[in-house]
Chains A and B, each alone.
Chain A
Amino acid sequence: MIGAGIKRGTAELAILSVLEGGSLHGYEIAHRIERQTRGKLRFTLASLYPLLYRMEKKGFVRGAWEVSGNGRRRRCYRLTPTGKRKLLPLRQEWSELFQALQRLAKVADA
């Protein structure tokens, strides 16, 4: 299981990544992240929405009310151009970090 600190750091990346595929509402964002990470990253209502609102304030995502097929109103989030620009370097940073950690682990194992 991944620790809470790392999870916090990767949460933004996870949300930006799933929104890359199109707009989603909060529940779908949480569900998709959980499914795609095979349960390693899990968002609850309490952890998801404050983060989404912060990201919206920073201009990375934008939420708008939409009516779904079953007539329900849902607030759907989509990536903004700022969010798209943020995603690439963020991915790179985390990728470099994980590679560095893997190298470190291999050295320790050897």
Chain B
Amino acid sequence: MPDWEKVVREQLAGLNLGHEEEDEVIAELAGHLEETYEVLRRDGLPEREAVRRALSQVSNWSDLQREIYCARAKENVMNPRTSRVWLPSLVTLTASFIALVAFGHLGLPPGPLGSRPHYEEWSSHLITGIKTGRDTMNEYTVWLMVLPLVGALGAWLSRRAGGTLRDVVISGVFPAVAWLTIVLIVLSFAASLGPGVETLILPVGPVGLIAMLVLVPGACLLLGVLVYHAAVKRWTRSVA
């Protein structure tokens, strides 16, 4: 027989009701599952099938967690959309930005693609890098390698707050959306100033810029989200 309290505790890991109240809810739900399981066993079902049927009472633990939280919390300090989408998105955006700035400031040792150990400001460095296409490649590559972790962080925060798969994906890839907005604004601004200013973003050009700052980072963030999602799914199946 499974340790029902452990199963429920793991599934409702982000309930956030306070220790005592959370323990009460977990004990109560575990008791219900245990009783269901025992009745099924008495009816002659094999252990595996009895466990499966008992757990089938909950099709979506995230939904249950959210409903229990709404029903039991004294007051909702944050609306669900904020905690499931906006807050995790803000965290991923900040984390991706900090990583970019940190790698720019720290300066990485010269790598196979070539990098300068000292720079001025990260923004001018980045623009220089985009202009030359090669200058900041090392930092850029490391940044890309960190982004899956950032995406997974957003996904974890969103799921912890009871987010759906859609919320989880949005939270994870949000920095790419923010970068796209910034790039579009910069491109429109540059276009409005005339053809001379456009050379600032050359030789990568608008498409290259979008690819470097939106598509490739977006794919890295999404990779982190998908790996996290697959790991959670696999883990949930193994618990069941």
Q: Which residues of A contact B63 (CB under 8 A)?
A: 46
Asked if B59 is at the interface (CB within 8 A of a chain A CB), the reply is yes
Q: Which of B57, B60, B70 contacts A45 (CB 8 A)?
A: B57
Min CB distance B67 to A, Å, is: 4
Residue of A nearest to B74 (CB): A57
Asked if A83 is at the interface (CB within 8 A of a chain B CB), the reply is no
- Chain A residues 67 to 94 lying within 8 A of chain B, measured CB to CB, are 72-75
Binds B, one of A1-9, A48-56, A102-110: A48-56
Q: Which of A26, A46, A51, A57 contacts B28 (CB 8 A)?
A: A26
- Chain B residues 56 to 85 lying within 8 A of chain A, measured CB to CB, are 57-60, 63-64, 67-68, 70-72
Q: Which of B24, B27, B33, B64 contacts A50 (CB 8 A)?
A: B64
Asked if B182 is at the interface (CB within 8 A of a chain A CB), the reply is no
- Cβ of A50 and Cβ of B28 under 8 Å apart? no
- Cβ of B71 and Cβ of A46 under 8 Å apart? no
- Chain B residues 13 to 44 lying within 8 A of chain A, measured CB to CB, are 24-25, 27-29, 31-33, 35-36
Q: Which residues of B contact A75 (CB under 8 A)?
A: 24, 27-28, 31
Min CB distance A44 to B, Å, is: 4
Min CB distance B188 to A, Å, is: 48
A24 and B72 alpha carbons, distance in the complex (Å): 20
Q: Which residues of A contact B60 (CB under 8 A)?
A: 46
Number of B interface residues in the complex (CB < 8 A): 21
Tell me the dominant secondary structure on chain A's binding face.
helix
Q: Which residues of B contact A54 (CB under 8 A)?
A: 71
Residue of A nearest to B68 (CB): A50
- Cβ of B59 and Cβ of A46 under 8 Å apart? yes
- Cβ of A50 and Cβ of B67 under 8 Å apart? yes
Residue of B28, B33, B72 most packed against chain A (CB within 10 A): B28
- Cβ of A44 and Cβ of B58 under 8 Å apart? yes
A13 and B28 alpha carbons, distance in the complex (Å): 22
Residue of A48, A65, A73, A75 most packed against chain B (CB within 10 A): A75
Residue of B nearest to A57 (CB): B71
Q: Which 5 A-B pairs have the closest CB atoms?
A: A53-B71, A50-B67, A44-B57, A45-B57, A27-B35
Contacts A45-B32, A45-B33, A54-B71 supplied; 13 other A-B pairs, CB < 8 Å: A25-B31, A27-B32, A45-B29, A45-B36, A46-B59, A46-B60, A46-B64, A49-B68, A50-B64, A50-B67, A50-B68, A53-B71, A75-B31
**Can you identify 11 A-B contacts, CB atoms within 8 angstroms?**
A26-B31, A27-B35, A44-B58, A45-B29, A45-B36, A46-B67, A48-B32, A49-B32, A49-B64, A50-B68, A72-B31
